[in-house]
Chains A and B, each alone.
Chain A
Amino acid sequence: MRQLGLGLTMAAAGLAMALQTARADEELPIGVIAAQSGSFVSAGNTIVGAANLAAQQINDAGGIKVGDKTYKIKLYIRDNRTDVNVSIAAARELVNDIGVKAIWGTETHDFSVSMAKITGPAKVLQFSGNSSLGAVLDDKAVADDGWLHYTFQSEPQEWQRSGSTAKGVLSLLTSQLKSPPKHSVVFVGNDATGQYLSSHYVKALEAEGQKVDLVQYPPDTTDFSPLLTRIKGMKPDIVHFWYNGDSTLTAFPQALKLGVAPSYFLFGVDPGIYQERSLKADVPVTLSCVPVCWGSSPFPEVKQYFEKYFGLGAAKGPQSSVSLLYYDYFFWYAKALEKVGKIDDPDAVVAELLKSDYKGVVSPVPLVFNKHHQVTFATEVCMVEPNTSDQFKCAVEQPPAAPPPGDNGG
């Protein structure tokens, strides 16, 4: 009898342990679609890096407590090979074959928009760090029955980023130039992102009193000297190498050689890259990151983040800071799930995300989604001391409260 009791007790204990294990094994499937190969790989890899770090941290901290269950994030990472057809196929697979609850990605507007047409009807949340989504995120699109109801733009609206960046660049350069800069030339790649971004940045500079000329170059340009020579003839005070950072790293040395302008701004070139490549100019140069710099950040949380991010094996590149457009939202999403108490109620999660805030790494100010599912935070701008590669002075100017004149905000 005693043996039977002992046996029953052990069986009960075993069952309890098994149940405990089963409860601990609950998985929250989350998809990541990013370019791990192809021409967008430098941006795509940062999404994967951020997702891996966030998932590891959440799981190591015990997972996500939803109702009486605890969920561990299980990432399903898919390489879109910088191909829209593969992105679509991956989104179909993640949504329909695997049944993920949310998708992070991807790095380009076109791919994100096409993916949203799959995630939306399936009520799968999508976090995309494309500021150009602002062109399609409107009242109708994000309404309860809208096709972007479950899509969130994890990068600020472009007029906000442009405004924050323009203020930062001008405040840093004005102190270095003999006279306040009045004439800017914006030099930008003529593709979807370049067109969209520059349309806002030009307005932001004009709002700061600049006379602005826009010069576009065809994507994949490698010899910029004819266009740079033309720009030199315009006698600008500042040449702004706007999107994209990879092309800028090719064009900037050519501009220095030609002596195009008395000062420069390089968008999306991290101070860490500037230092690594031993770039040096005899004129003041400003740099901005998307959104904060890994090479020279004044914020301790950001420094800690990048230590962990690179610690997981992520490569240091011009676009490493893009990872911060994706990282915080894992924690915010987890917080929303915990609050809702269910993982199968995407409408409630959307509502919770819209009414909550989250203090993340990317911004000292808590993140909030506006009614069009877009966040707001500032962009860090740093200035390199002339004739140095590693002496930086950084500034973070908050975005303007409203779009500048002539900018419809979309």
Chain B
Amino acid sequence: MPMTDNSAAKTGAATEGARARDRLALLTADNASVPLPAGVQAVTAILLAALLIALPWLGLGYRFLSIAITTLYTAIGLYGLGLQFGQAGIMSVGHAALMGVGAYASAILSVQLGLGFWTSLPFAMALSAIVGGVIGLPTLRVGGQHYIIITFCFCALFVIVLTNGGTFTGSATGLDVGSVTPLPGINFDKLSNNYYLVLAALFLALAATYLIGISRYGRTLRAIRENEQLARSVGINVDLHKLGVLMVSGLFAGLAGVLQLYYLRHISPTLFGAFPSLYLALMVMLGGARYLYGPLIGAVIVNFLPEVLNLDPVDSRIAYGVCLLLVILLLPGGVAAGIKNIYCALAGGFDRQGGGLNGRA
């Protein structure tokens, strides 16, 4: 029975749709071309977790532990940035300001209403998420470098508002808070307990990132990252997903900001300005935004490199610049991609794409 023109057109459209979906599947599968075996992933996770848990017991000293805490809460913020940049392809150079929203929300709730760490945390995270979404609204119309400029402007404006916020924001002098409210039997004034608190938050961030990465939602984000038009054409609500991931990123940033606040117990606008934001962007690119451990690796490099090599701030910036150039030229997927490639080379395979995905590295 001959097909009518209408049914032929339908069949043609269906074929086109199938092709588009296949193409999208190929695009989003690129980084997972050489997934590490499940056993390797599990061993890596267990070893890393064991190392991080054992760190306070290794006798490395309080200085080391202090820098480790800084590294961990920075990494939590980076996981948010990693999601929006690594998974959805939306870069920001104002992420420190988003952490600042969380930190200042918590500090203001503490100063004005007497709310402690645990009670202010959900509000601070929620506010960061909302602000993340609001800043993300322009991504519906602009992208790439234009959005980057918008985030930079937000960061500058945020610092100006804080600096001129009077007693409400503590102006340029900033705000002070007390210790983390103790849990039964756990006093967070003890540095190792503070470390474990931040570590627990990091594990949550890691788990959330992993679950997002392997979920349908993660695949949708990657589809948007690889080809927004194509993703839209197969019925993905791109706008909603973009705002969604920016809000999730805001949640992570809020958590990191509150942890930073209660670690320093004093915050001021300079902590959330342009330089800290650029450093966050640098860290996530160095480590590898698309990899599960990339943000953590980036945070470790930037926080510990000056300690290990005894670099002053000027030398550090030069070193970071050189590292970034090397990573862009040699390891587009970041240091995590390099580590994975070394493993694959040793194990007989080689991921030339340099972009292992979602917990596969």
A contact set with B: CB distance below 8 Å? 36-39, 79, 81-86, 88-90, 92-93, 95-97, 109-110, 113-114, 117, 121, 132, 135-136, 190-196
Q: Is the CB of B63 within 8 A of A110?
A: no
Q: In this assembly, does B153 line the interface, its C-beta being within 8 Å of a C-beta of chain A?
A: no
A11 to chain B, nearest CB (A): 39
Chain B, 247-273, CB within 8 A of any chain A CB: 263-266, 268, 270-271
Chain B interface: which size bin? Answer: 20 to 34
Chain B min CB distance to A215 (Å): 14
B172 with A195: CB separation less than 8 A? yes
Closest 8 CB pairs of A and B: A37-B312, A93-B63, A192-B172, A89-B66, A92-B62, A96-B62, A38-B313, A85-B70
CB contacts (< 8 Å) of A97 on chain B: these are 61-63
Cα–Cα distance between A135 and B63 once the two chains are bound (Å) = 29
Residues on A with C-beta less than 8 A from B353 are: none
Complex Cα gap A73–B313 (Å): 29
Q: Contact check, B63 vs A92: say whether CB atoms are below 8 A apart.
A: yes
The 8 Å CB contact of A191, one of B172, B265, B306, is B172
The proximity string for B residues 255-297 relative to A, scoring 1 for CB distances below 8 Å and 0 otherwise, is: 0000000011110101100000000000000000000000000
Residues of A within 8 A of B64 (CB): 89
Q: Are B174 and A192 in contact (CB under 8 A)?
A: yes
| Interchain CB contact under 8 A, B176 and A191 | no
17 contacts between A and B (CB under 8 A): A82-B313, A88-B66, A88-B263, A88-B264, A89-B70, A93-B63, A93-B66, A96-B191, A97-B63, A109-B173, A110-B270, A114-B265, A135-B173, A190-B164, A193-B172, A195-B171, A195-B172
B25: A residues at CB distance < 8 A: none
Contact (Cβ within 8 A) B63 A81: no
Cα–Cα distance between A302 and B171 once the two chains are bound (Å): 36
User: Across the two chains, which residue of chain A brings its CB closest to B71?
Assistant: A85
Question: How many residue pairs at the A-B interface have CB separations less than 8 Å?
Answer: 88
Cα A232 to Cα B185 in complex, Å, equals 64
Assembly CA distance A37 to B316 (angstroms): 11
B313's closest neighbor in chain A, by CB?
A: A38
A113, B266: Cβ atoms closer than 8 Å:
yes
User: Are A92 and B312 closer than 8 Å at their CB atoms?
Assistant: no
A208 and B341 CA atoms in complex are apart in Å by 72
Residue contact A37 to B314, C-beta cutoff 8 Å = yes
Give the residues in chain A near B303, CB-CB below 8 Å. Answer: 85
Partner of A38 from the list B63, B173, B271, B312 (CB cut-off 8 Å) is: B312
CB-CB < 8 A to A85: which residues of B?
66-67, 70, 264, 303
Partner of B174, one of A92, A110, A194: A110
> What separation, in Å, do the CA atoms of A291 and B49 have in the docked complex?
52
Cβ-based interface call for B110 (8 A): no
Q: Is B16 an interface residue (CB 8 A)?
A: no
Contact of B30 with A by CB under 8 A: no
**Does B163 reach chain A (CB closer than 8 Å)?**
yes
Shortest distance in angstroms between A280's beta carbon and chain B's nearest beta carbon? 32
Query: What residues of B have a CB within 8 angstroms of the CB of A37 in the complex?
Result: 312-314
B173-201 contacts to A, CB under 8 A, are 173-174, 176, 189, 191
**Bound complex: CA A103 to CA B189 (Å):** 20
User: Are A92 and B65 touching (Cβ within 8 A)?
Assistant: yes
CB distance from A302 to the nearest CB of B (A): 31
Main secondary structure of the interface of A (DSSP, over half): helix
Give the shortest distance, in Å, between A355 (CB) and chain B (any CB): 29
- A sample of 8 more A-B contacts (CB under 8 A), given A36-B312, A190-B172, is A85-B70, A88-B264, A92-B191, A110-B173, A121-B189, A132-B173, A194-B172, A195-B173
**Complex Cα gap A113–B70 (Å):** 17
- Whether B67 pairs with A89 at a CB distance below 8 angstroms is yes
CB neighbours of A191 from chain B (8 A): 163, 172, 270
Q: Which residues of A contact B265 (CB under 8 A)?
A: 114, 117
User: When the two chains form their complex, are residues A190 and B266 in contact, meaning their CB atoms are under 8 A apart?
Assistant: no
Are A117 and B313 CB-contacts (below 8 A) given A81-B306, A192-B171, A194-B172?
no
Min CB gap A402→B, angstroms: 23
A86–B172 CA distance with the chains assembled, in angstroms: 20
CA of A38 to CA of B268 in the docked complex: distance in angstroms? 18
A132–B170 Cα distance when bound, in Å, is: 13
Which of B189, B265, B266 has the most A CB atoms < 10 Å from its CB?
A: B266
User: Who on chain A is nearest to B66 by CB?
Assistant: A89
0/1 string, B150-181, CB within 8 A of A gives 1: 00000000000001100000011110100000
Q: Which residues 33-64 of B have a CB within 8 angstroms of A?
A: 61-64
* Shortest Cβ distance from A218 into B: residue: B160
Shortest CB-to-CB span from A146 to chain B, Å, is 12
- Smallest CB separation, B107 vs chain A (Å): 13
Please tell me if the beta carbons of B271 and A84 are within 8 angstroms of each other in the complex. Answer: yes
Chain A residues near B270 (CB-CB < 8 A): 110, 191-192
Give B348 Cβ to nearest chain A Cβ, in Å.
42
Q: How far is the CB of A216 from chain B (nearest CB, A)?
A: 9
The answer to whether A89 touches B63, judged by C-beta atoms less than 8 angstroms apart, is yes
Known: A92-B62, A110-B270, A190-B163. A83 touches B172 (CB 8 A): no
B268 A136 Cβ-Cβ under 8 A: no
A93 partner residues in chain B, CB cutoff 8 A: 61-63, 66
Residue in B closest to A85 when the chains form the complex, CB atoms: B70
Complex CA distance for A148 and B176, rounded to whole angstroms: 13
Q: Which residues of B contact A192 (CB under 8 A)?
A: 171-174, 268, 270
- Residue on B nearest A111 in the bound complex, by CB: B266
Chain B residues with CB under 8 A of A36: 312
* Shortest beta-carbon distance from B64 to chain A in Å: 8
Chain A residues closer than 8 Å to B316, beta-carbon distance = 81
Q: Which residues of A contact B62 (CB under 8 A)?
A: 89, 92-93, 95-97
Cα distance A407–B318 in the bound complex, in angstroms: 45
B234 to chain A, nearest CB (A): 45
Residues of A within 8 Å of B67, CB to CB, are 85-86, 89
The minimal Cβ–Cβ distance linking B210 to chain A, given in whole angstroms, is: 27
A136 B176 Cβ-Cβ under 8 A: yes
- Once the chains bind, are A113 and B172 in contact (CB under 8 Å)? no
- A113 to B314 alpha-carbon distance, docked (Å): 25
Given contacts A37-B313, A38-B312, A132-B173, contact A110 B268 (CB under 8 A): yes
Q: CA separation between A95 and B62, bound complex, in Å? A: 9
Query: Closest A-chain residue to B312, C-beta based?
Result: A37
* A110 and chain B: residue at smallest CB distance: B268
| A96 partner residues in chain B, CB cutoff 8 A | 61-62, 191
Least Cβ–Cβ distance between B155 and chain A, in angstroms: 14
Give the chain A neighbours of B70 by CB distance below 8 A. 85, 88-89
Greatest chain B CB density within 10 A among A84, A85, A92 is at A85
Whether B313 and A113, one on each chain, are in contact in the complex, defined by CB atoms closer than 8 angstroms, is: no
Q: Mark B212-232, 1 if CB is under 8 A from A, else 0.
A: 000000000000000000000
